[in-house]
Amino acid sequence: MMDSEIAARECSAMTSRNRWILPVVLCVGVLTGCESKPATQTIRDQAHRAMWQGRWVDAESLYGELVSRAPEDWRALYGYGVSAMATGDLPAARQSLEIAHTLKPSNREIALVLAETMYLQKDHNALFQFLGDRAEARKSSEDWLLLAEYALMSDDPDSARDFIQQAMVVDDASSVDPYLTAATLSEQMGDLDAAMRYLHTGWQVDPSNEELAARLRGYGVVPGPTLAMPSSDSP
C-alpha cells in the first residue's frame, strides 16, 4: 500500500512538471524563430540606418536580404545597388540598379546612380546610350546637361559642347539652374565667352538671382538694365 502511494505521488509530480515544461519549450521555440528571421520592416529600418551612417558592408547585406525576400521591391533594389557600388561590387550594383530602373523608369535618383556605376565600370558606350535615350525621351535640359558632364569627365569636350547646346534648345526657361550648369561646364572647357552668354541669358530669366549676378560681376559685367538685351546661346 505504501509503495503504491509513493508511486502515485511521483507520477503526480512528474505530470505537474510536464505541464510547466511544455509551455516553456514552446515559448523558447517561438522566440528562437523570431530571432532567426526578423520582420521585414526591422531589416528595412536597419538597412536605412546603415546606409545613412555609411556602413556600406552592413547596408549591402541587409538590402540583399530584403531583395531576396521581395525581388521586385525597387526601393530595396536601389538600396542594394547604392551599397554595392560603395563597396566596389560594381557588377552586382549595376544588375540591381538596372532592375530597379526597369521597375521605376521615371525615378531620377536610380538613373543617376546607375549612370555613375556605368561610368565607374568605364562602360562609356552603355553610359552614353542610356543617358542619351533618357534625354531624348524626357526632353529635359537637366538630362542633356548630365550627358555633357559625363562627356567632359570622359575627355570629350566636343560632345559636351553639343550636349550643352541641346540642353539650351529644350530648356523652357522655367529655372536658371540649367544656365548656371551650362556656364560652369563651359568654364571647365575654357570657353569663357559661352559661359558669359549662358549667365547673361540666365539673368534675363531671373534678374533677382544673386548667384548669377555675382558670377557676372566676376566677368566684369554689372547686372542692370543695359544687360537685358537679346542674346544668342549659340557659340
User: pLDDT tens per residue, the chain (235 residues)?
Assistant: 445 554 445 545 544 544 444 444 334 343 444 456 789 999 999 999 999 999 999 999 999 999 999 999 999 999 999 999 999 999 999 999 999 999 999 999 999 999 999 999 999 999 999 999 999 999 889 999 999 999 999 999 999 999 998 998 888 888 888 999 999 999 999 999 999 999 999 998 899 999 999 999 998 888 876 655 444 454 4
Can you give the pLDDT at residue 9? 55
Q: What's the rounded Cα separation, in Å, for the pair 39 and 233?
A: 56
Q: What CATH number was assigned to the domain covering residues 40-121?
A: 1.25.40.10
DSSP single-letter state for residue 224? S
Using a cut of 0.85, tell me whether the model's pTM lies above it. Answer: no
Q: What's the rounded Cα separation, in Å, for the pair 161 and 154?
A: 13
- How is residue 132 written as a grid cell? 542619351
CATH superfamily of 123-235: Tetratricopeptide repeat domain (1.25.40.10)
Contact 129, 150 (CB under 8 A): no
Contact 193, 232 (CB under 8 A): no
Torsion angle of the four alpha carbons 153, 145, 199, 217, in this order, in degrees rounded to the nearest 10: -40
Q: How far is CA 216 from the centre of its chain?
A: 33
Can you give the pLDDT at residue 37? 74
- Helical (H) or strand (E) element with 16: helix 2-36
Helices of type H across 73-208: 74-87, 90-103, 108-120, 124-138, 141-153, 157-170, 177-188, 192-205
Can you give the pLDDT at residue 222? 83
Question: Which residues, other chains included, contact 3 with Cβ-Cβ below 8 Å and sequence gap of 6+?
Answer: none
Where are the domain boundaries for CATH 1.25.40.10 in the chain? 40-121, 123-235
Relative orientation angle of helices 157-170 and 192-205, to the nearest 10 degrees: 20
